[in-house]
Structure 1
């Protein structure tokens, strides 16, 4: 009897629950999925070791080390950032300087574009101009990484949700930037978009919170869309930023703000974060600048991991795109005594620097009357008469910086093999569901990401997203021509009977007679061929 009563009560409760609960709660919705890809540009393994010694603790990166990545390009064992970024964005190895174009020069859809087209929110963060090679590879398509004007325009019309970094110079028809020349004289650099367009106006009209400094970034905005531009070109090295450019945000602060905006979406997001300037310092052979940016990047990794651990549905991948400089702990001067060199012998000279070599020389007066103070701010005090003479006799700012980093490397027992890129395999760091591991190709990264997010870059509609627009419309019976083929604003025009279609370069729309028609992607022109996506 008691059993029967219990059964009746249980049946009644289940009946009530089925009536009172809405259908949406009876069928669980799929979990959101986020991917954050962090790229540390131009970083070799020795600088990670040196940075760990410098900080005195393990890096955040150390906790998620899972393998390695091969970095070679389609044409060389040593890649550049354009080919490497394109490989990590599209899953296709390509040529140097190409931005998400295959080796034949045809545009290939990026994992960021695929995520956006699949309903995810998307964003990029960079300490370089956002038009630089790595962020460009995820957001644009050109045959040359130097086409900052076209890259910037495509980024604006891609409809990303968050863009944070430098690069104001390529957003307006005319921008002034106050800098110092090689003699320390203040001068004004003029930047100008060749097409005369004011992309800042378009950004504002597209619903973004447009912000220009750190204070504005740290305040909560109203829009889910955020565009922050904090420098005419690149954001300062982290070591210099605090002392010389406090109005600029740090990489970790930009990363935090990007995640806060992007995580407002229900489905999830894809975010690419680049610590751009390890590479820039490595080209100068400046170990102080390299450490500054490795630690800045590691702080951003910490920010990401804090979010990912709480979220539970976020894949994190961190990697460098290629090596640079051939930095070594040890040089020709340590051949005989390397067995008796504790870490302090490498670190103590570096810790005396208050600024990077670039930050130090930026303070040099025209008459060089403060040369000793400038050199000292880079940690090079107690100069011998010969060392001071070498600094004083440097003819240009580049020459002075070269002598300063040489002396620093000598004091810190460091070696450099080149001022260019290197071809070694690099570390792979990853965390979260679906993460990659082992020794992989750089082209595997976007394929792992896209699989986790539920779409494919290799099969289906995304595999051949961009088509030759001229050929497509001619095959449809249209008369096709390129207006202003050699101008700064070319347009593909297709005519058939009373219908005229006009496709402006780098825009996400076309005109059908007088009607503006929105597109899911931007129109592309490489100087010879117009590429478009044909809507279904």
Structure 2
């Protein structure tokens, strides 16, 4: 587990009062623990600071499901910065390795954060195995869920290896060829060729691949909940799903995060070897970037409902570890701003919450109802809780060049909510956990991955050595001449030849092609990082 720290920072300090109880619960659960299989449900509420969960609790008017799971805190810094991006944060949580900005599932090129081990130049960008891949190698069922595009940085960290988080084409292809049992979220755009920004550039229709692999492809809530398949791919939007507060009005056919979590658990639990499930509540982060306090509350509560589904299952199962954590803070949100400098001792909860309760939609949802001529601007403002506009507020909105920005500022002012930034923040975040062997204390984010791997019975470093071998080096030791064919940059292939024998490894796929064009499936994906090409030990053994 991680280092024990005498002086807890924010998350650890607040959590410490519950740690004694946590340890007692863990001991009881360990005694009652059944034999195999083990399950892990890893849940991330992206970009959620303690201020957002506090505000959401007051808004709800009762405890959150995560409150009973408080177990400590998590340090979130990357290999190069005190403030991390989602890509290296996900890499740390999934692989146990700190990384760099925009890197997904690969080692860093720059290490300057204190306490992070240096990485040799030859290993920079090398793919490192994640806990989902480890679970697969153990024979477990696997799943990933996200309310953003499923190719977004955080779900990608648990399912792919690329040097830039925007490489949706490679990420989507890797996810499909990872043969994950249940994949639910947005990002349908990246599965097929087309003319839109994230449509496929390699000419491959991944929906056809999914059909050949016998997935039930579903696109709405009803079809998801009624699916009887053991393999489900849910693409519910071209890009991201709607905010929870907006769904009923803008996207009523989309499932909630709790819907997706419950269905995934039910499906994956059929596997006799157990399962690993990753769940992300993505859009708290997006709302935080926009300083939209209503959007943050919307999707913190949606995430919390999903956690409740997971913990309910874990309580009945007895052998399931549930972890919930934020990957980093965002926005510096506070209850209290310049308005309350002199009045905070007597300012009641209602002064913060009542103005927010007036909002029926997030700012994104409200503005989706705006007419092109802006003739219903006052009605749209009211949807966001901005009723009874003052003449000054009305004038500001009528002349606004950025309505979303001005509307969130107005509501924050009314609700006495403060923001320090529109970007990420570097504070520790809360750790929530439940079940046998659950992590507790103040940990590095990398310790979370190691704890999950240990519980499922594998070592991530050893797994990396088996799954990601430098293909050129290894094949040349077998007497082959090799080259990385980048003629088509969207379809890179490692080619190895010896006499009449020819073997090809297409990037991002779990296949190899021999001289006779005979195609064989291998145990993991082939990865090209722009410099080196990696294949698995088991793939090498198939090359004579």
Would you say same fold, with TM above 0.5? yes
> How many angstroms does 1:465 deviate by?
2.6
Corresponding position of 1:132: 152
Corresponding position of 1:9: none
- Residue from 51, 55, 59 that aligns with 1:54: 59
- Residue from 194, 206, 214 that aligns with 2:221: 214
Q: 1:504-519 to 2 correspondence within 5 Å?
A: 504-514=506-516, 515-519=518-522
Q: Secondary structure at the match of 1:68?
A: strand
Is 1:445 matched with 2:448?
Answer: yes
Corresponding position of 2:43: 38
RMSD of aligned alpha carbons: 1.2
- Give deviations 1:43-98, integer Å, cap 9, x for gaps: 00011111000000000000110100000000000001000000000001111111
> How many angstroms does 1:191 deviate by?
4.8
Corresponding position of 1:343: 349
Corresponding position of 2:189: 169
Deviates more, 1:191-200 or 1:322-331: 191-200
> How many angstroms does 1:475 deviate by?
2.3
State the alpha-carbon separation in 1 of the partners of residues 228 and 508 from structure 2. 28
Contact 1:486 1:527 (C-alpha < 8 Å) held by counterparts: no
Contact 1:141 1:151 (C-alpha < 8 Å) held by counterparts: yes
Which consecutive unaligned segments of at least 5 residues does structure 2 have?
1-33, 109-123
Is 1:307 matched with 2:313?
Answer: yes
> How many angstroms does 1:482 deviate by?
2.0
> How many angstroms does 1:415 deviate by?
0.5
State the alpha-carbon separation in 2 of the partners of residues 393 and 307 from structure 1. 52
State the alpha-carbon separation in 1 of the partners of residues 48 and 80 from structure 2. 21
State the alpha-carbon separation in 1 of the partners of residues 484 and 382 from structure 2. 58
Corresponding position of 1:434: 437
Q: Secondary structure at the match of 1:489?
A: coil
- Give deviations 1:373-420, integer Å, cap 9, x for gaps: 11110000111111111111112xxx1100000000000001000000
Corresponding position of 2:324: 318
State the alpha-carbon separation in 2 of the partners of residues 256 and 32 from structure 1. 19
Corresponding position of 1:181: none
Corresponding position of 2:176: 156
Corresponding position of 1:500: 502
State the alpha-carbon separation in 2 of the partners of residues 223 and 363 from structure 1. 37
Q: 1:179-258 to 2 correspondence within 5 Å?
A: 191-219=198-226, 221-258=227-264
Q: 1:382-397 to 2 correspondence within 5 Å?
A: 382-395=388-401
Q: Secondary structure at the match of 2:460?
A: coil
Corresponding position of 1:488: 490
- Residue from 402, 419, 424 that aligns with 2:405: 402
- Give deviations 1:332-382, integer Å, cap 9, x for gaps: 121111111111000000000000000001111111111111111000011
Q: How many residues align?
A: 490
Corresponding position of 2:384: 378
Which consecutive unaligned segments of at least 5 residues does structure 1 have?
1-28, 176-188
Is 1:273 matched with 2:243?
Answer: no
- Residue from 55, 69, 75 that aligns with 2:74: 69
Q: Secondary structure at the match of 2:315?
A: helix
State the alpha-carbon separation in 1 of the partners of residues 429 and 199 from structure 2. 37
